[in-house]
Amino acid sequence: MEKYQLRSGFTTGTCAAVAAKAAAAMLLTGNPLQHMKLVTPKGTEADLPLFRVVLNDQEAACGVQKDAGDDPDVTHQAFVFASVGHFYGDEKEALKTCYRYDLENGSPLFLTAGEGIGWVTKPGLSCPIGLPAINPVPRAMIFQGVEEARREAGFEGPLIITISMPEGKKLAEKTFNSKLGIVGGLSILGTTGIVNPMSEEALTATIRLELHMKAVAGERKVILTPGNYGEAFIKEALCLSMSEGVTCSNFIGEAFTMAGEDSFKEILFVGHIGKLIKVAGGVYNTHSKHGDRRMEILWDCVSSVIPDSQRLEKEILSANTMEEASKILKEYNILEPVMKEVVHRIQAHVSRWSRGIHVEVVTFSTTYGILGMSEGAQEMISHFATREEDRE
């Protein structure tokens, strides 16, 4: 019987970029469209149908219905709309609520949010306070799509783009946006433009199969990482390939348990501190549906390193992200010892889950790079690097 292949989909960022590119093309050519193509950062072409097209001399608007494939995404089937209009306002004033995109030659593009898109109210996110929660990769995709349409139309004037999701405010109640300080709606997200299916049963089966295949091939060492950030860090910062790696998503406890069942001897565990801090608290599955507790776990680590400090406790527990919390620890000059404790606790939990496998840990942040490494991590990294060289 042929195995069912889970279907991938497109992120809200891709949907917003396709809608914005189509709206710009319609505004500048005067021709209504039924669909629009756009290449995602992953290189996959999105060719998506357009809905509720509106076109006049000053503005064009349209929507794209998100298809998340077989991923149980809260935004699956929701509509993402974009409107593009000629910009006649004050550029300085616009920067209070808009992102700006400039070319060496040509007028700027402005990007803002309409109904259902959240606004950032706390530090530590990848979007500045006071601006829409449209993450950097989707922002770039939107601007690039609109600029492409502007260039093809031979137009050089300034434009303003507005992204909206009418269902966004209601859907945001099912997310952690309010806790992160994103108010009024959803974030526009995506790093590759593609939604990879996240069926729990399928993912754990895939993880098990990948580990088992390596074990059957005689491998006794493996690299584990939760996802895209870890994969990129392993390649770019540690200079290792993922040929000996397995991506375990939020199923960290399960992955280590499976590795123990397949008799692996050594594991290099690499991940962003935002995910791994949960592991330091013994969280077996790090999906947000099982709770957060990141700052509480971090504070427990901090309090074991330094004398009680009510001021620091308040700052840590009020931090919005682990990036922000890391900055606070650095300002107090205790980032290194705290991360040593974090890594020690991670090692203890994952070693227990794997029933005694030798595990070394590397955790990092996008701001500071490597935050913590277990004592033997560098030696294990060198072993993996040597194995790669031997194969070449």
pLDDT digits (tens, 9 = 90+) for 53-63: 999 999 999 99
d(CA 294, CA 176) in angstroms, rounded, equals 13
What digits encode the pLDDT tens for the residues 5-38? 567 788 999 999 999 999 999 999 999 999 999 9
Confidence of residue 101 (pLDDT cuts 50, 70, 90): very high
Do 138 and 13 contact (CB within 8 A), yes or no?
yes
pLDDT for the residue numbered 152: 96
d(CA 354, CA 340) in angstroms, rounded, equals 21
Residue of 160 and 180 predicted with greater confidence: 160
DSSP string over 290-325: G---HHHHHHHHHHTTS---HHHHHHHHH-SSHHHH
Residue of 10 and 360 predicted with greater confidence: 360
Q: And the tokens for 270?
A: 């690499």
Beta strands in the chain (DSSP E): 9-10, 35-39, 45-49, 51-55, 59-65, 79-86, 99-101, 109-113, 119-120, 159-164, 182-183, 194-195, 221-225, 245-247, 266-272, 358-365, 369-373
Q: What is the pTM of this model?
A: 0.63
pLDDT for the residue numbered 389: 65
Residue of 174 and 391 predicted with greater confidence: 174
Mean pLDDT of 233-238: 95
d(CA 133, CA 138) in angstroms, rounded, equals 10
Q: Which segment of 33-47, 84-98, 279-293 scores lowest on mean pLDDT? A: 279-293
d(CA 302, CA 288) in angstroms, rounded, equals 23
pLDDT tops 70 at residue 219: yes
Confidence of residue 361 (pLDDT cuts 50, 70, 90): very high
Q: Which amino acid does the sequence have at 29?
A: T
d(CA 38, CA 273) in angstroms, rounded, equals 33
Q: Which helix (H) or strand (E) holds 384?
A: helix 377-391
Q: Which segment of 16-25, 50-59, 70-79, 114-123 scores lowest on mean pLDDT? A: 70-79
Mean pLDDT of 319-331: 94
Q: And the tokens for 388?
A: 């790669």
